[in-house]
Amino acid sequence: MNATHDPRLRSFVAVAPDSHFPIQNLPFGVFSSIGHGPARIGIAIGDQVLDLAVLEARGFFRTVPGFGPEPIFNQSALNAFLALGQPAWRRVREMVSHLLNADTPILRDDPASRETVLLPQSEIRMHLPAQVGDYTDFYSSRDHATNVGTMLRGAENALLPNWLHLPVAYHGRSSSLV
């Protein structure tokens, strides 16, 4: 945990008390405006999305490690941002938390900018957040391995003896991600 998770933080954006997305929980995602606009990266805050591509185009993230002339947030997947690693993720989160803070006037006191960078979630469409080329999955528990084994080999041979001694992995299909 760091200062961006401080329960005393308050955002200038109205956030319902039961919201999953207060200023302490700023999840990254990929979205597009319904009816127009390419997919790009944003952060949920309350029932809105903060358009990080617009902020990046305005120079807000110039000091983040790994950011350069090529856009990071004006993309249809989080892959380029994820590749920058934790120092960049942490810095962006700190910067966004600061921008959304009730005590920070940058967006709070600029209605034209707020209208451009804060979009109602009801007017956007969410997308798969990353391009998945391939992955390996593991049987996560004895029950998982037994259930799959029952489907493939029947109940009498459900759990192979080696499962108790080494992790069993299988090739996952990226097309199975939703």
pLDDT band per the 50, 70, 90 thresholds, residue 5 = very high
Catalytic hit among 5, 144, 165, 171:
144
**Average pLDDT score over the chain:** 91
Sheet holding 118-120, edge to edge: 118-120, 48-51, 40-45, 28-33, 124-127
Record the tokens describing residue 37, joined without a space. Answer: 């606009």
| Average confidence (pLDDT) over 39-43 | 98
| Average confidence (pLDDT) over 163-171 | 78
Residue 117 has what pLDDT?
97
pLDDT for 134 beyond 80: no
Residue 36 has what pLDDT?
73
Residue 178 has what pLDDT?
59
CB proximity list for 17: less than 8 A, separation 6 or greater: none
pTM score of the predicted model: 0.79
Residue 87 has what pLDDT?
95
| Average confidence (pLDDT) over 135-139 | 74
The answer to whether 98 is a known catalytic residue is no
Type of residue at 32: S
Residue 161 has what pLDDT?
83
Q: What is the pLDDT of residues 73-86, one digit of tens each?
A: 999 999 999 999 99
How far is the CA of 19 from the CAs of 14, 45, 58, 82, 98, in angstroms?
10, 9, 29, 26, 19
For residues 55 and 57, give the distance between their C-alpha atoms in angstroms, rounded to a whole number.
Answer: 5
Q: How far is Cα of residue 6 from the mean position of the Cα atoms in its chain?
A: 20
